[in-house]
């Protein structure tokens, strides 16, 4: 088997990915691709990126052996890649730093971003403050209501938060609105997409910036455990934390790659966000990928307890990894994720993000089927402080 080298020059992962945008955005994307391909191989750029990740983000993030929880579950050992310990509390910052450094080199003084739960918005507002750029964040008005703390956090960091009133008023509509802003202000504006979706080169570029997660893991596993894990487990909304962990392992075929989607109230209900498990291929937000859609090709509103997974599409590389069988995708319900959230708090003193709780919940299901010498590496992609209000509400409390 030859080494994995996707996407193709045209930005395709098999039949997925590509550049499905209006003519008005083509030259901006072309420019971005050329600049990115240049700086990707530029030692100065890479050195500055590495410096920022170390001194500003606090990398490398450790791998932590959740011994007490593993023992409680009675199967394989669960290891946690601690992206929750990054500055701003999630993996999102790895990518926003990379894109902000690129924006700087391209002479763009204004950055825009879309956000669902607010994590990517916060990470974008953070780097905009760090590098002295104007920042506008688009957020569905429903999400603005649900995530008031993060909205305030972005404002404290100097960003303008624009509530989006169109469509279902959630993440997908925020993405539409950010695209509209970009097309209108393309000369001075850099669009920081938060996940491995969107038109080429975004899925590739965001993956490359997030791949630090998997690269570090490979080194740390060798150092601490003298071998690589038997499986990697990560939650998948758009899929950036998962691809960041998976990508450096794609050619290591003995390592299973397991993506965990949000089954919401159940994948047999119409309230979930399990795109790969239930969707059909189509075109949205600039790429061809699996989508949750009706029989007429209209995009359907999704549901998940975790706003970060509440998205009707998925990164095109995941679509390809599913089709070619290299990665497996499973789904975890709101209730299962919530249970994992509480369990990790109680057994390990770690409060995970509700997004990451989906990966944890699958690990908890899977572990007991394996022997104790097996190692599962779970991406703990973010911390759960932002979710306390949601969790309290689910338990019938108000804070």
Active site residues: 92, 114, 381
Q: Could you give the CA distance from residue 77 to residue 66 in angstroms, rounded to a whole number?
A: 7
Sign of CA dihedral 250, 283, 201, 34: positive
In degrees and rounded to multiples of 5, residue 196 shows phi and psi of -85, 40
Paired tokens of 112: 């825009």
Is residue 136 a contact residue for another protein (CB under 8 A)?
no
Nearer to another protein, 90 or 164 (CB): 164
Stretch that binds another protein, among 20-28, 102-110, 122-130, 139-147 (CB under 8 A): 20-28
158 binds another protein (CB under 8 A): no
Least spacing, CB of residue 15 vs another protein, in Å: 11
CB of 299 to another protein, least distance (A): 4
Q: What minimum distance in Å lies between the beta carbon of 157 and another protein?
A: 27
With binding defined as CB under 8 A, does residue 179 bind another protein?
A: yes
Output the smallest distance, CB 21 to another protein, in A. 6
Residue 158, Cβ neighbours under 10 Å: how many? 14
Q: Work out whether 269 is an interface residue with another protein (CB under 8 A).
A: no
Nearer to another protein, 158 or 167 (CB): 167
The whole-angstrom separation of Cα 352 and Cα 383 is 5
**Contact residue for another protein among 219, 253, 283, 324 (CB under 8 A):** 283
Of 256, 258, 302, which Cα lies nearest the Cα of 278? Answer: 302
- Sheet with 63-65, side-by-side order of all strands: 63-65, 77-82, 375-380, 231-235, 256-264, 327-333
- CB-count burial class (<10 Å; 0-12, 13-18, 19+) for 280: exposed
Q: Determine, following the binding rule CB under 8 A, whether residue 286 of this chain makes contact with another protein.
A: yes
Which region among 16-24, 125-133, 138-146, 341-349 touches another protein (by CB under 8 A)?
16-24
The region of 149-157, 215-223, 290-298, 327-335 touching another protein under the rule CB under 8 A is: 290-298
CB of 138 within 8 A of CB of 170?
A: no
Nearer to another protein, 231 or 299 (CB): 299
186 sits near another protein (criterion: CB under 8 A): yes
Which residue lies nearer to another protein by CB, 231 or 284? 284
* Min dist. Cβ of residue 88 to another protein (A): 28
Distance CA 291, CA 316 (A): 10
Using CA atoms, how far apart are residues 378 and 360, in angstroms rounded to an integer? 7
Q: Are 195 and 238 in contact (CB under 8 A)?
A: yes
Q: For another protein, which residue of 183, 211, 345, 394 counts as binding (CB under 8 A)?
A: 183
Strands 189-192 and 110-115: parallel
User: Out of 54, 68, 155, 180, which residue is the one contacting another protein (CB under 8 A)?
Assistant: 180
Biggest alpha carbon–alpha carbon distance for the chain: 57
Three-class DSSP category at 351? coil
Name the segment binding another protein (CB under 8 A); options: 97-105, 276-284, 371-379, 390-398: 276-284
The span from the CA of 236 to the CA of 191, in Å, is 22
| Sign of the torsion angle spanned by Cα atoms 192, 194, 196, 198 | negative
Q: Is 20 in the site for another protein (CB under 8 A)?
A: yes
For the bound state, the minimum distance from the C-beta of residue 30 to another protein, rounded and expressed in Å, comes to: 8
Q: Which of 2, 44, 184, 325 binds another protein (CB under 8 A)?
A: 184
Contact between 26 and another protein per CB under 8 A = yes
Tokens of 162: 């624009």
Task: Give the separation between CA 236 and CA 31, rounded to whole angstroms.
Answer: 29
* Complex with another protein: residue 149 or 166, whichever CB lies closer: 166
**How far apart (Å, rounded) are the C-alpha atoms in residues 399 and 7?**
46
Nearer to another protein, 52 or 173 (CB): 173
Closest separation in Å from C-beta 75 to another protein: 42
Q: For residue 291, state whether it binds another protein (rule: CB under 8 A).
A: yes
Size of the site for another protein (CB under 8 A): 36
Nearest to 98 by CA among 244, 308, 235, 248: 244
Nearer Cβ to another protein (300/389): 300
Contacting residues toward another protein, per CB under 8 A: 10, 18-24, 26-28, 166-167, 172-173, 176, 179-180, 183-184, 186, 280-286, 288, 291, 293, 295-299
């Amino acid at each position: 088997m030859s080494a994995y080298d996707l996407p193709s020059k045209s930005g395709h992962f098999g039949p997925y990915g590509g550049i499905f945008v209006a003519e008005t955005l083509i030259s901006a994307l072309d420019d971005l691709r050329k600049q990115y391909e240049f700086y990707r191989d530029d030692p100065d750029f890479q050195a500055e990126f590495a410096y920022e990740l170390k001194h500003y983000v606090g990398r490398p993030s450790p791998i932590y052996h959740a011994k007490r929880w593993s023992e409680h579950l009675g199967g394989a050992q669960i290891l946690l890649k601690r992206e929750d310990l990054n500055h701003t509390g999630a993996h999102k910052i790895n990518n926003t730093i990379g894109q902000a450094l690129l924006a700087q080199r391209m002479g763009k003084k204004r950055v825009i971003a879309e956000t669902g739960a607010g994590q990517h918005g916060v990470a974008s507002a953070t780097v905009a403050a760090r590098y002295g750029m104007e920042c506008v964040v688009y957020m569905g008005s429903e999400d603005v209501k649900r995530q008031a703390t993060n909205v305030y956090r972005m404002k404290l960091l100097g960003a303008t938060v624009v509530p989006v009133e169109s469509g279902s008023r959630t993440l997908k509509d925020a993405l539409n609105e950010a695209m509209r802003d970009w097309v209108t202000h393309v000369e001075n504006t850099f669009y920081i997409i938060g996940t491995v979706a969107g038109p080429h080169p975004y899925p590739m570029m965001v993956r490359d910036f997030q791949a630090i997660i998997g690269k570090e893991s490979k080194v740390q596993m060798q150092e601490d455990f003298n071998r690589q894990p038997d499986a990697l487990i990560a939650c998948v909304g758009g899929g950036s934390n998962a691809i960041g962990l998976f990508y450096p392992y794609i050619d290591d075929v003995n390592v299973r790659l397991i993506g965990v989607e949000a089954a919401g109230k159940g994948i047999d209900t119409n309230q979930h966000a399990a795109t790969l498990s239930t969707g059909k291929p189509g075109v949205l937000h600039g790429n061809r990928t699996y989508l949750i859609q009706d029989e007429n090709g209209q995009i359907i509103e999704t549901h998940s307890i975790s706003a970060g997974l509440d998205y009707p599409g998925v990164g095109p590389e995941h679509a390809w990894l599913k089709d070619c069988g290299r990665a497996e995708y499973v789904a975890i319900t709101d209730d299962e994720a919530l249970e994992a959230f509480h369990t990790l708090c109680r057994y390990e003193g770690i409060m995970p993000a509700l997004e990451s709780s989906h990966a944890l919940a699958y690990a908890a299901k899977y572990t007991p089927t394996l022997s104790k010498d097996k190692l599962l590496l779970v991406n703990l992609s973010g911390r759960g402080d932002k979710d306390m209000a949601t969790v309290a509400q689910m338990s019938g409390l108000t804070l």
